Amino acid sequence: MMRKQAMQQELIAGITSFFAISYIMVVNSLILTEAGMPPLLSIFATIFASMAGTFLVGIVANTPIVITPGMGVNAFFTYTLVSSMGFTWQQALAVSLVAGLLFVGITLTPLGKIINESVPESLKHGITSGIGLLLVMIGMEKGHLLVAGEHSFLSIAPLNQIDTLLTLLGFLFVVILVMKKVRGGMFIALLVITIVGNLLGIQAEGLAGASLSHLGDYGQLLFAMDFQFVGTGQFWLAVFSLLMILMFESLGLLNGLLSFLPKEEVEKAYRLTGVSVVISSLLGTSPTIPAAESAAGIENGGRTRVTSTVVFVLFGLSLFLLPFLSYIPDQAIAPLIMMTGFLMLQDLRLLNFADFYEWFPALFLCLMIPLSGSIGDGLAYGFIAYTLLQLVGGRARQTKPALLVIAALFLVNLIVTNFM
């Protein structure tokens, strides 16, 4: 009986994770369109890369993790590599491939384990909480609850808008289901809000014209890397910056999401994450990372490869059901993302607030992730702040050498990406 119940729990967790991250199919392709990539073909690349990564990190490594092209990473790909540094999208794919190969190489050496073990527990809690806060903001923005303010940086949207009101009431419904510990509560909320949204005429945006009929043209993105500038300093600067983001964002996400697994299992998943980056480059999309939205399934009881297998299958089915996904409005997905973020924020209770040297940099990291809009940048600020406090506070001997090196690399990366 318990085994059947656990299986049902994993199935619901997988469905919940998939719908929490399903927006990536549209959003990733729209961002890559600004790099010059064909939008409808990018949807296929996003799906295939998500399936490959989820198979490796989820199914092979036996974790409930979903792998997709990363939000923030795709922005770096488009707006930094292509728009700012002047690479074509084909050359940006080459940068991604080389960064992925270096990622794999590092994780196959003892250096990968040293890096993982050098991260203090307080920063790991800060990472988890920071990702949670970022998800809350993403959900609020996706559900049209959060908008740019006229007299402030951000403000809550007027509640007289039907889509905003649906998000708010939907979130309240999710909160009640979670509070009452209703099994599969998030999935139930997704279905109910979707039905209500469609009755009100609210549907998803961005999937117009998407269908399997365009798959025949997908070869334009396969193995499209251009290594023309591989011998230049600019190319390797781009590789270094992307490698830093991928390695530490993935490390932070996996440590935060898989806190219930032994370190050896997390390290295995970490190695396969690097392989996934290589595959995503070959498939013609921006680099993949563990999806923070995997937490939606984990919070619903996902603990094994069963959860990720469900996500893998649903991504495959989505190829045939792209037109039907337009019936799931953002207002149905946003409350799930917001609730997941709030649940992740619980990690703040694990910080030792009696030790300034530990809680301050962790909380600083937590806040900088959503404020910068980048997990990678938030990690950089947090690691640098932690190391500075240890050195100034006379705790240098207690600080692991690897952490000093990591902080120095983050500092170099910040200087290079902002001033050079």
User: Greater confidence, 261 or 34?
Assistant: 261
Per residue in 346-374, pLDDT (tens digit) is 889 999 999 999 999 999 999 998 888 77
Per residue in 8-22, pLDDT (tens digit) is 899 999 998 998 888
Around 317, how many Cα atoms within 13 Å sit in the side-chain half-sphere? 12
Give, in degrees to the nearest 5, the angle at Cα 177 between 172 and 182.
Answer: 175
Region label for 226, one of left (φ > 0), alpha (ψ between -120 and 50) or beta (otherwise): beta
Compute the average pLDDT of residues 175-200. 87
Q: What is the DSSP-derived secondary structure letter of residue 120?
A: -
Task: State which of 103-117, 170-184, 214-228 shows the largest mean pLDDT.
Answer: 214-228
**How is residue 228 written in tokens?**
């023309």
Its pTM stands at 0.79
pLDDT band at 285 (very low <50, low <70, confident <90, very high): very high
- How far, in Å, CA of 247 to CA of 252, rounded? 9
Residue 149 has pLDDT above 80, yes or no: no
Residue 91 has pLDDT above 90, yes or no: yes
- How far, in Å, CA of 134 to CA of 143, rounded? 14
The tokens 């399903």 sit on which residue?
Answer: 22
Q: What is the DSSP-derived secondary structure letter of residue 83?
A: I
Around 332, how many Cα atoms within 13 Å sit in the side-chain half-sphere? 28
Residue 204 has pLDDT above 80, yes or no: no
**How is residue 66 written in tokens?**
């979903």
Which residues of 263-335 form beta strands (DSSP E)? 288-290
Residue 23 has pLDDT above 90, yes or no: no
